[in-house]
Amino acid sequence: MFWVYAAALLCLAALFIAWPLLRSPRRLTRVSREATVKALYRDRLAEIANELHGGTIAAEDRAQVEAELGSSLLADYAADSTPLNPTDARLGRGLVVATVLLVIAGVLFIYNGLGDPAADRLLGAESLLRLDPEADREALLVWQEKLRERVAARPADAQSWYLLGHSELQLAEYQRSSEAFAMAYAQFGADPNIDVYWLQARYLAANGQVDSATRSIAERILQRDPNHPLVLEMYAIDAYQSGDYRTSVGHLNRALSRAINPSQRAALQDGMREARTRLGDLTPSLDVAIAVSGDVPHGAMLFVIARPMGGGMPFAVVRRPAVDFPRSIRLDDAVSMNPAQLLSQAGAVEVVVRLSLNGTPMAQSGDWEWRSQPIELAALAEPLQLDATLAAPQPGTGAPTTATRPVLP
């Protein structure tokens, strides 16, 4: 269909160019020539009248001068009307046709190099990103075939490689998907969307094994987003499979700090429970049971912090979206902020539970807060249970409400 429209437009353009060129040069200029002769005749008559008035021409000579002027212009016009030589006419028409054909050939050559006549076959290809792998399998197969043909013809088309990678991923052809995303990366360069799906494809193609190339992609993603849930979940599974349950808990703790969809959050929480079961109780451990009094502000973030008395760099921090109350949070070395400053290396600490309205760990006016009494960690032989109830600040105080509960080691 494209070529039908293209041919029609080219023919129309050729006719537009050729029509004025194919007309006789004599016919093209006759009308303008007549107008010029008439204008010259009128101007010369006016000059004769002025000369007569000025005395340059005698009155009895006027008729003769005007007659000579008319004869001269008529002779000049007649000489210009000589018929065109037939050979010259054919040569002129040949040059016109050759020019038109050359223009058409040039247009086709340029379009073949720069244009994209097959682009209409890919209209709507982005819709495959929304297709269901089971319900829309046939549609995915159609797009897969079209995109394979496309990249075979145009290997530098990064967008088509990217879409092909998606179709292969949804059809569980993980190795092909990984190769397609690799080509998209090679053409387009580093891009968050390419990296995330390329990582998934490589990970699945390797049956859950994290090799150096996969880790390189993952680290590139974490440089942009240090708490990316997909990457941290992958790392957590890899650590779990190798028996490093503490590291697995640490990765899952970071992954759960983000606001993610409920199904993904539930899967990560299941993984956290399983990893903690395998890890066992670290010493010291603080189990904080958290309840709320009143409606939780939308978008609030929960922070559970073990820190030096009165403040300072925390030893352990858990950050969670403020949902699913009541809930329990464990603080231990697995969720320490800094390997060089572990909870087990602290002496006395206090636990702060804060519902941050603006999502930052620093206390702000209007935050809901609970704070423990000092806790001597060295005296703990088993996990210590803390009960924290959060409530909105008391009206007029201008500062977070602090509820304290004596804690004995």
Closest CA to 164 of 141, 187, 186, 132: 141
Sign of the dihedral through C-alpha 157, 158, 162, 168: positive
Closest CA to 403 of 369, 362, 375: 369
Residues with Cβ within 8 Å of residue 245, at least 6 apart in sequence: 239, 275, 276, 278, 279
Question: What is the residue whose two structure tokens read 């394979």?
Answer: 148
Question: What is the residue whose two structure tokens read 């003769």?
Answer: 64
- Contact status, residue 62 vs residue 79, Cβ threshold 8 Å: no
How many angstroms separate the CA atoms of 367 and 356, rounded? 5
CATH class of 120-224: mainly alpha
Tell if the pTM clears 0.75, that is, is over it: no
Closest CA to 157 of 179, 184, 181, 182: 184
3-state DSSP call for residue 216? helix
Structure token pair of residue 113:
């190099």
Domain boundaries, the chain: 120-224, 225-280, 283-409
Sort residue 310 into left (φ over 0), alpha (ψ -120 to 50) or beta: left
Structure token pair of residue 359:
């999502």
Print pLDDT tens along the chain (409 aa): 555 555 565 566 666 655 555 555 555 455 556 666 666 667 667 776 676 666 666 666 666 666 666 666 666 655 555 555 556 555 555 655 666 566 566 555 554 554 455 555 667 778 888 999 999 999 999 999 999 999 999 999 999 999 999 999 999 999 999 999 999 999 988 899 999 999 999 999 999 999 999 999 999 999 999 999 999 999 999 999 999 999 999 999 999 999 899 999 999 999 999 999 999 999 999 999 999 999 999 989 999 999 999 888 999 999 999 998 999 999 999 999 888 889 999 989 999 999 999 888 888 889 999 999 999 999 999 999 999 999 998 776 554 444 444 444 4
CATH assignment of 283-409, among 3.40.50, 2.60.40, 1.10.10, 3.30.43: 2.60.40
Closest CA to 232 of 264, 274, 276, 192: 264
